[in-house]
Amino acid sequence: MQYRRSLAPGGCYFFTVVTNNRKKIFTNDRTVDVLREAFKQIKDKRPFEIDAMVVMPDHLHCIWSLPGNDADYSTRWRLIKTWFTKHCNEGLKNRSKQTVWQKRYWEHQIKDDKDYEQHVDYIHYNPVKHGYVTKPIDWPYSSLKGFVEKGVFPENWGAGYEVIVPDYIGNE
């Protein structure tokens, strides 16, 4: 069976990208800064918008919006992963394979506003779901602070209560 990806020029997509063998490499500002720079370098060459994002120790989730005439997120991911791998600390790489990332990633084309909102909620609540923090705002590698600054979410969003999203999100 051939794997088929959904491609829509100008589309909006949710992604899950996982490190090789779920190795926890995003545990400090230094490695997250290298990842940020990888995104910046590729966005400069192949523009896209990052609508929401969270970087967890062994994976990341994000929502991208692509330019109206472009559906090529696969090349962007290949370039981001390659740039990060070339610039990350050598100690992060698996000595036998020199692999930082799982080969594949998960993508889901966002269907409508409700689907978008549910995926944004999933992204921002992910650090609580995994037990790293009790309040989503406390996770340092998340776009939630930007949403709070814009007034989209209150600062205490997800604190002291569970944010419910459909079970299929994140397990798609």
Q: Which amino acid is at 167?
A: D
Active site residue 73: no
pLDDT tens-digit map of 57-96: 999 999 999 999 999 999 999 999 999 999 987 556 554 4
pLDDT tens-digit map of 20-41: 999 999 999 999 999 999 999 9
Exposed/middle/buried for 123, CB within 10 Å: 0-12, 13-18, 19+?
A: buried
Residue in 3, 141, 161, 168 annotated catalytic: 141
Task: Please state the rounded mean pLDDT for residues 149-160.
Answer: 96
Give the CATH number for residue 80: 3.30.70.1290
Task: Please state the rounded mean pLDDT for residues 117-145.
Answer: 97
Answer yes or no: is 28 within a domain: yes
**Into how many domains does the chain fold?**
1
Answer yes or no: is 93 within a domain: yes
Entry pTM: 0.92
Exposed/middle/buried for 127, CB within 10 Å: 0-12, 13-18, 19+?
A: buried
Q: Provide the pLDDT confidence category of residue 5 given band limits of 50, 70 and 90.
A: low
Q: Provide the pLDDT confidence category of residue 171 given band limits of 50, 70 and 90.
A: confident
Answer yes or no: is 127 within a domain: no
Question: Quick one: which of 107, 111, 151 has its CA closest to 18?
Answer: 107
